[in-house]
Amino acid sequence: MNESPRRAGFVAVIGAPNAGKSTLVNRLTGTKVSIVSPKVQTTRTRVLGIRAVGQTQIAFVDTPGLFRPRRRLDRAMIAAAWGGAGEADRLLLLVDAAAADEDEDTRAIVARLKEMGRRDVILALNKVDIAAKPKLLALADRLNRTEIFSDVLMISAETGDGVDDLLALLAERMPEGPWLFPEDQVSDMPERMLAAEITREQLYLQLQQELPYKATVETESWQERDDGSVRIEQIIYVEREGQRSIVLGKGGAKIKSIGQAARTELARLLERQVHLFLFVKVREKWEEDPERYRAMGLDFDV
């Protein structure tokens, strides 16, 4: 009996901010490759997660949320998102079905896809576990009438409802060909960048509205130790001294809490002991520093 041919390809997950793209990519890949927080625009650059489904290998590109850019950082993130979309074998548009209506960002994305002449985009309506059914069906009908979607699925990235069906569909749509990555690889993100992203996630989760978008994290050093553990030193850059005080917290309590949570998560992901040391530095207008963009994998000149 002949074995089915191998398939491999890229799927770019696009959508408006907070549609649930990072949550979905983490569930599709079966591991954490992208950080998640209640804030919009948590993902800043292209994140690649890899999943094998039978004889098929799918590389998922979690892109920054597509919205109307206002700052240089916004423009760089949008360029990264559409760049990832342009290189993909399939596009997966994720829409928040629990929202009141299609937001302006989603309408702009659909318009651009139509301009690109796409007729093969897969639409996934997310958060169906909390969406009102009449509204959900009306939304599906409106979007389907744009004639750019080859398939429409209803899922919940949070609970996993419908995600297996989506994964199976995507596997069917991948082109025949050899696998693009080693069988045991789950992401192409360097460990140093992953470590920085995990710490940045804790900044978002623990500081809530106190530090919106005014911080970035870079892994300064990575030292492999003889006992198999790793020593990681990271710098958290903020723009003002007042922001530094927020990150440190009273008596250093907040930075200690952030470090403990990030260390625990990293130890779980890396499957070894992690010694994490965090430092906070003030760097005014870091968003205008080309070096910071290179560290995030973004193009400064867009």
Residue 1 lies in a domain: no
> Would the CA dihedral through 258, 47, 6, 123 be positive or negative?
positive
Whether 198 and 88 share a structural domain: no
**Domains held by the chain: number:** 2
| Cα–Cα distance, 231 to 49 (Å, whole number) | 25
Residue 18 lies in a domain: yes
Whether 147 and 201 share a structural domain: no
Residue 21 lies in a domain: yes
Whether 11 and 116 share a structural domain: yes
Mean pLDDT computed over 262-266: 92
Whether 155 and 129 share a structural domain: yes
Whether 42 and 167 share a structural domain: yes
Q: What is the pLDDT of residues 20-45, one digit of tens each?
A: 888 898 899 887 766 555 544 444 45
Higher-confidence position of 200 and 295: 200
Residue 83 lies in a domain: yes
Last residue within a domain, chosen from 140, 173, 206: 173
Whether 56 and 98 share a structural domain: yes
Highest mean pLDDT pick, 56-70, 261-275, 286-300:
261-275
Whether 223 and 282 share a structural domain: yes
pLDDT on residue 300: 47
Highest mean pLDDT pick, 23-27, 251-255, 288-292:
251-255
Whether 30 and 123 share a structural domain: yes
Whether 157 and 201 share a structural domain: no
**Whether residue 125 has pLDDT greater than 70:** yes
**Whether residue 151 has pLDDT greater than 50:** yes
Which pair of tokens denotes residue 273?
Answer: 């002991």
- Give the number of residues written for the chain: 302
Q: Residue 47 — very low, low, confident or very high, per pLDDT cuts 50/70/90?
A: low
- Arithmetic mean of pLDDT over the chain: 81
pLDDT on residue 226: 93
Mean pLDDT computed over 204-224: 79
Q: Residue 19 — very low, low, confident or very high, per pLDDT cuts 50/70/90?
A: confident
Whether 152 and 198 share a structural domain: no
Whether 160 and 276 share a structural domain: no
Instruction: Render 215-277 in DSSP notation, one character per residue.
Output: EEEEEEEEEE-TTS-EEEEEEEEESSHHHHHHHH-GGGHHHHHHHHHHHHHHHHHHTS-EEEE
Whether 125 and 203 share a structural domain: no
Q: Residue 205 — very low, low, confident or very high, per pLDDT cuts 50/70/90?
A: confident
Last residue within a domain, chosen from 173, 205, 228: 173
Q: What is the CATH classification number for the domain harbouring 30?
A: 3.40.50.300
Instruction: Render 153-181 in DSSP notation, one character per residue.
Output: EE--TTT-TTHHHHHHHHHHHSPBS--SS
Q: What is the CATH classification number for the domain harbouring 287?
A: 3.30.300.20
Q: Which range (31-35, 238-242, 290-294) has the least confidence?
A: 290-294
Residue 53 lies in a domain: yes
Instruction: Render 42-100 in DSSP notation, one character per residue.
Output: ---S-EEEEEEETTEEEEEEEPPPP----SHHHHHHHHHHHHHHHT-SEEEEEEETTSS
pLDDT on residue 182: 87
Q: What is the pLDDT of residues 161-172, one digit of tens each?
A: 999 999 999 999
Residue 179 lies in a domain: no
Residue 184 lies in a domain: no
Last residue within a domain, chosen from 173, 207, 230: 173
**Whether residue 152 has pLDDT greater than 50:** yes
Mean pLDDT computed over 91-98: 91
**Domain range for residue 248?**
191-295
Residue 221 lies in a domain: yes
**Whether residue 184 has pLDDT greater than 90:** no
